[in-house]
Structure 1
């Protein structure tokens, strides 16, 4: 079935255009999702580090 889609000029054109639309929509979505996950992970990592150090980042009571 895929061969008939690729060899038929009209179907192949619409299939290629659909693929282009799908990739053009998914690429920025994936980039934005990764960026949001990175920001969220960075924020939770900072709060976990501060909790382990007992308050501020420059706390004197650091765990040994």
Structure 2
């Protein structure tokens, strides 16, 4: 039964990551892994900081238009 649960948990994590990428929210765990391996001397943003920065980068159109 544990193998089925582990398999479902792995599937769920991958589904969540895929959904986040589809809607444009990058994966925080991937960011942390990248920062630790490629930029070890730099601070790592917290999840709220990371999320806010990604949303600003995505929606920084400079204007308030909706269409």
TM-score range, shorter chain: 0.3 to 0.5
TM-score by length of 2: 0.38
Query: Which of the two has greater helix per residue?
Result: 1
Larger RCO of the pair (alpha carbons < 8 Å, separation 6+) = 2
How high is the TM-score relative to the length of structure 1?
Answer: 0.39
Bigger radius of gyration: 1
